[in-house]
Amino acid sequence: MTTTTSPEAAARLVGDGADCCEPQPGTAPLEAEPAAELAAKFKALGDANRLLLLAMIASGESAEACVCDLTGPLGLGQPTVSHHLKILVDAGFLTREKRGTWSYYSVVPGALSELCAELCKESALGGLMDAPSCD
Amino acid sequence: MTTTTSPEAAARLVGDGADCCEPQPGTAPLEAEPAAELAAKFKALGDANRLLLLAMIASGESAEACVCDLTGPLGLGQPTVSHHLKILVDAGFLTREKRGTWSYYSVVPGALSELCAELCKESALGGLMDAPSCD
DNA sequence: TCAATATATCGACGAATGTCAATCTAGCAG
DNA sequence: CTGCTAGATTGACATTCGTCGATATATTGA
């Protein structure tokens, strides 16, 4: 703002009157739109019951399960499980196939790994991924 | 849930009176506790502004930034940015170092990749990660 | 056709979340 | 010591979220 120059700004400007809070346009390498999409996916994973649902579905032999198989172990009501499953479907982690009276939910194969990959590619977040993760 | 056997249950039991919704203990490979921890981290990433904050901090030369550098580009108030940064710190994605008047936030190097790795290791979710993700 | 069942949808309610204005706490400069 | 500034904390508010009960839809079986 006026006098107390931040160390960083001082290092760049050496001057005095410049404050440390300039907009610095173009600095953020991650745009708002992809950030929102990424956040939506993370938000879908940001619930313990949904993670458990994913794990339970994936752990099955056929990697699919109907709602009635998932309601009991979680201790949640059927509408709630249906709701969570819908969120996971909307986020692209599950697919729903209706066979007869039952709805079979199965895992979208590369969804999670793709999310991981996006984390690495998208913007400077790649700098955070120095350790080998999924191999 | 008394008579109409679900296909899967029918395939396993062949009987008749068994319903499809038995608790099936020990079926879920992902326990509730680690699921909650994972969910907490995902929840921290489930906000576009927080992802942008992470990206902005990581993109800097020194991979650190003070609050005043982050407030402007996001169009958020200072308390809000502080709040988001605290969430990211609590989740283990950022660290805070106070130098003089300024608080410098920097990225925890392996945090994101470790999260990716946990996704692969933890339980049957590994089955979802068939594509090479972070290399 | 009619009853039963699996699932989805709706409405409601309490809890959590994102945001801001106002205030509080510390360092720094004079 | 007295302002001034960077940042954290508090309180309030609207919105979203997770959950449930009740209901609607569709499919199977008699």
Q: What is the pLDDT of residue B34?
A: 87
Lowest mean pLDDT among A43-47, B29-33, B68-72: B29-33
B32-127: what fold? Arc Repressor Mutant, subunit A (1.10.10)
| Edge-to-edge strands, sheet with A94-99 | A64-66, A102-107, A94-99
Q: What is the mean pLDDT of residues A8-18?
A: 33
Q: What is the mean pLDDT of residues A63-84?
A: 91
Q: What is the pLDDT of residue B122?
A: 57
B117 touches A at CB < 8 Å: yes
pLDDT at B9 over 50: no
Helix (H) or strand (E) holding A118: helix A111-121
A34-124 maps to CATH 1.10.10.10:
yes
* Cβ pair B112, B41 in contact under 8 A: no
The Cβ of residue A97 has, within 10 Å, a number of other Cβ atoms equal to 10
Q: Which residues lie closer than 8 Å to A54 by C-beta, 6 or more apart?
A: A45, A88, A93, A94, A107, B125, B128
Higher pLDDT, A53 or B9: A53
Amino acid identity for residue B89 in this structure: V
Q: What is the pLDDT of residue A115?
A: 87
pLDDT at B85 over 80: yes
Q: What is the pLDDT of residue B78?
A: 95
DSSP sequence for A29-68: SS-HHHHHHHHHHHHHH--HHHHHHHHHHHHSTTSEEEHH
Å from A125 (CA) to C30 (C1')? 43
Q: What is the pLDDT of residue B88?
A: 97
User: Sorting pLDDT into bands at 50, 70 and 90, what band is B127?
Assistant: low
- Those residues whose beta carbons lie under 7 A from strand D are A 1-4, 6, 19-21, 43, 46-47, 49, 75-80, 83-84, 87, 98, 100-101; B 4, 66-68, 78-79, 82-83, 85-86, 96, 101-103
Lowest mean pLDDT among A11-15, A92-96, B25-29, B119-123: A11-15
The SS3 call for residue A132 is coil
Least Cα distance to B5 among A117, A35, A102, A9 occurs for A102
Q: What is the pLDDT of residue B41?
A: 96
User: Sorting pLDDT into bands at 50, 70 and 90, what band is A72?
Assistant: confident
pLDDT at B73 over 70: yes
Cross-chain residue pair B128–A120, CB shorter than 8 Å: no
Show which positions of strand C are touched by protein (CB under 7 A): 4-11, 17-22, 26-30
Cross-chain residue pair B134–A130, CB shorter than 8 Å: no
Strand B64-66 to A102-107 pairing: unpaired
- Strand (E) positions, chain B? 64-66, 94-99, 102-107
Lowest mean pLDDT among A79-83, A105-109, B78-82, B120-124: B120-124
Compute the distance between CA of residue B71 and CA of residue B50 in angstroms, rounded to an integer. Answer: 12
| Edge-to-edge strands, sheet with B64-66 | B64-66, B102-107, B94-99
Cross-chain residue pair A45–B42, CB shorter than 8 Å: yes
Least Cα distance to B130 among A17, A30, A113 occurs for A113
